[in-house]
Structure 1
């Protein structure tokens, strides 16, 4: 199998040497301490907009890297931790088809600046499979920090889908990082479904439906670790728990149904420690939203509740449920229509959350509870994705709105926040965004929403909008004011199915 070889470039431009006279007798001269240096573009062969600078210095130094941007908002600044003489400097965030200027600044052990040196790093053009990114709104003074990470669904050409290609774009819409596993011996047919997330250690992780494994990679696309799931096949989501273990949505191999099991995998031993069989805890026979006997639940996301060691699972065609580690139901967030008994013979109606109006009064309309009509203060979640526990304990999710009120009312999608009172078994709608956008941001499948507690902003990301064209959007909304602070439209050259992406994240390109 052909693999793209890294390009070795040894260049240096605009050498800046701080002399002893200007910096003091204890500060070495930069030209005297540089022993060896080289620049390798795309060192892994899978991350075209990266490079590695290897440097040996005569004395221990700390290095700060700067990747020059087009303006003050698109430059990258990152300090490499530790004083040492041998340096591997990862360069992230290069522009495609450009001669990028990368500046390294050297510091002595007492943090005195020794000098700086600039390197010209040339990159090739973007793959033609990559999408067009258009910035619609950018309030640069109020946006949350970081750039936008997109778990892009890739490109379909001639009926053959290429492996999925995550990418990061900056505030100007320039793609500054992406992975291309087309020629990878293991991930050449990558299907990560919901996409990639960042581990607590700063690396990326994802499940792959082609190999049925969980992978940890660095920003060059190098595989650092992998975890098997014997007896199960991966689909949709894997999430890292605070203790480092993984919870994944899976298929049980050989079963008559799909997408209705979850497992926990011990990070150290790779053993499966817990199994949740939704056929036991929930109601296989409920057909309120689907007639599919095989994919009756369609688990598309899982969130871990650390406070009580429970999981919150989104089933596209059933609703959102909270389960204990013992696979016991805590509550069900779903229109009440059609619920009866679980696989273990338990009446599930006792776990249905009762909706409240804005004053905290019970909404007693059966038509509202069953989902036929909306209340002024309350709407159920329809075919939802991406539930997230907020710092206040509430739940935010992407309410896709497919088949809303059983007649596709709208249509529109929403980011919506609910407060669940487990003692009273009630649910109250607290906040929403997206209904006012109508079809412009309506995505009946996939999609994401994230609440960022640091900025107080919500990232509303419909990933499969299909109007006159197919596109996805990333909309950053101020939670308190409802103002749109950033918005981008991502248009693929040819979408896989009608999907542009499943998930997005706002993150720094350098984790630490």
Structure 2
């Protein structure tokens, strides 16, 4: 028989269990919100270590300091005097202009002639790339500059490149460029070669650079595994975007898995790089895009105001960038398409999909703590747009919707947007106003589920026919509707891994004339239920595939055979990895 004391203890334990059961949903929501809030966080600490102050610019409020790069190269570092003030950011055009003016004054110092043996060298001159090294010097005749970086006492392979001058000219008497490739935390032995326009070597300069550690703390080497393909990797740098645990940075790795550039952002992460007039346009925080030149200088800022970026940007009509976003504070998320005017910076909401597709939207609900995507508990993530492709000739846009495992085409983007067609499992759209918009599947293959990064692959044989590539995550789940969907046993339903199940890179043939689609080609890649991409390498028929949940990316040949795979660290996932030639840094013409 229970004593009175034991009864009291049991009642207390029971009460605690009941209380916890009631609190768990609220705790899950709070923890989830803190997790997703990381993407909106803004960097507050821009400080870095330098040597002693050499001079101060009172006019531009910038300290000129000695860079801590060892004894091999006399380099400077520029420190804005307000760097520790609340609200400071390098992604501010006034800050960038101050740094630019100081550099211009240094270039034209009285009684100083900058030469290849005595260059003006500045570490991370504009605060946007921690291991970028700016050079300015003159030569007697028109020359080009190439360099080889050897890491002392290491098995890191040498890295050779030809610098792209900010002037856009291959040969010049005045040289101004950013040296990319110096490995953080290592002693870099640099051989810089000055070559004349007739191909003759005019000068060879050698120096060492003891590069500081990464600002992020990220590894400078990835684990590399050779694949079965006999082909060599294509030229370029792998660009890792939105690495969870290291938000606020972009990482650029070479073919040997060595970190060659660490881009420092205000927050969030890169969604992709757009190349525009020898500059890049990219995300630098959840509510800002920036235009950045080859020296790391920010030349324009695009503030999105009340919107937060989510998942993709791309070129639209002339002078326009399109961006997937959400309205801050709104119940619905990841369901807006914005237009940013590259000249004026004006931001216009082109489509609110909850209004455009209101009949379907009204059948959905908010994410609950028991759903697969529990970290979004309380949000209406009813469509989850994650990529866009603009078709200029017809003013239409093709979008990927992860939540519905469908690809959508919207016509009349800048006039009267309307759903043109849908591509996906027709069962999802059954008994909705959009069932008659579904393209018809041709051929026997398993459809895509939870797909990411739909891209325009190639023109077709006639008007109305074209090809789209995509990363088929091959994962089915929905957190916005209570529907039971029968999927093939080869389709994953486990967020964190599904045994032998794989994801794929798909290439679809779209025939709008016949209202059909078919699978042109595919190949298997490591399984990743969410995030990820399978994209062509720039100027190559090779593929770069990031399997974000498996924490690997790889380069594959045109037949889908693995050339080389890279294993990385992150918290849960890395969003995308592309491979770019980076012509604004390297002369690749």
Tell me if both proteins adopt one fold, taking TM over 0.5 as the criterion.
yes
Measure how far apart 1:71 and its partner are. 7.5
Q: Which residue of 2 aligns with 1:425?
A: 515
| Correspondence 1:300-379 to 2 at 5 A | 300-318=386-404, 319-324=406-411, 325=413, 326-339=416-429, 347-357=433-443, 377-379=444-446
* Gap change, CA 1:268 and 1:378, over 3 Å in 2: same
| Correspondence 1:17-28 to 2 at 5 A | none
Measure how far apart 1:106 and its partner are. 2.8
Matched residue SS, 1:390: strand
Alignment equivalent of 1:195, drawn from 271, 278, 295: 271
Measure how far apart 1:105 and its partner are. 2.7
Q: Which residue of 1 aligns with 2:300?
A: 225
Alignment equivalent of 2:471, drawn from 377, 387, 398: 398
Q: Which residue of 2 aligns with 1:137?
A: 226
State the distance in 2 between where 1:37 and 1:419 align: 54
Q: Is the 8 A contact 1:351 1:425 kept in 2?
A: no
Q: Is the 8 A contact 1:3 1:45 kept in 2?
A: no
Q: Is the 8 A contact 1:154 1:165 kept in 2?
A: no
1:63 aligns with 2:140: no
Q: Which residue of 1 aligns with 2:55?
A: none
Q: Which residue of 1 aligns with 2:212?
A: 124
Could you list the per-position Cα deviations for residues 349-403 of structure 1 after superposition, in whole angstroms to 9, with x for gaps in the alignment? 221011111xxxxxxxxxxxxxxxxxxx312221111000102321111111222
State the distance in 1 between where 2:193 and 2:471 align: 44
Matched residue SS, 2:222: strand
User: What TM-score comes out, normalization by structure 2 length?
Assistant: 0.67
Measure how far apart 1:221 and its partner are. 4.8
Alignment equivalent of 1:92, drawn from 158, 172, 180: 180
* Gap change, CA 1:51 and 1:413, over 3 Å in 2: same
1:179 aligns with 2:263: yes
Gaps in structure 1 of 5+ consecutive residues: 14-30, 156-161, 182-186, 358-376, 466-471
Matched residue SS, 1:89: strand
Q: Which residue of 1 aligns with 2:547?
A: 462
State the distance in 2 between where 1:121 and 1:35 align: 14
State the distance in 2 between where 1:488 and 1:402 align: 23
Measure how far apart 1:32 and its partner are. 12
More deviation, 70-79/200-209: 70-79
Gaps in structure 2 of 5+ consecutive residues: 1-44, 51-65, 75-112, 369-377, 460-465, 478-484
| Correspondence 1:437-456 to 2 at 5 A | 441-452=526-537, 454-456=539-541
Q: Is the 8 A contact 2:410 2:420 kept in 1?
A: yes
User: What TM-score comes out, normalization by structure 1 length?
Assistant: 0.76
* Gap change, CA 1:273 and 1:257, over 3 Å in 2: closer
State the distance in 2 between where 1:126 and 1:233 align: 27
Alignment size in residue pairs: 439
State the distance in 2 between where 1:109 and 1:431 align: 46
Measure how far apart 1:73 and its partner are. 6.9
Q: Which residue of 1 aligns with 2:448?
A: 381
State the distance in 2 between where 1:117 and 1:191 align: 39
Q: Which structure shows the higher helix fraction?
A: 2
State the distance in 1 between where 2:253 and 2:123 align: 19
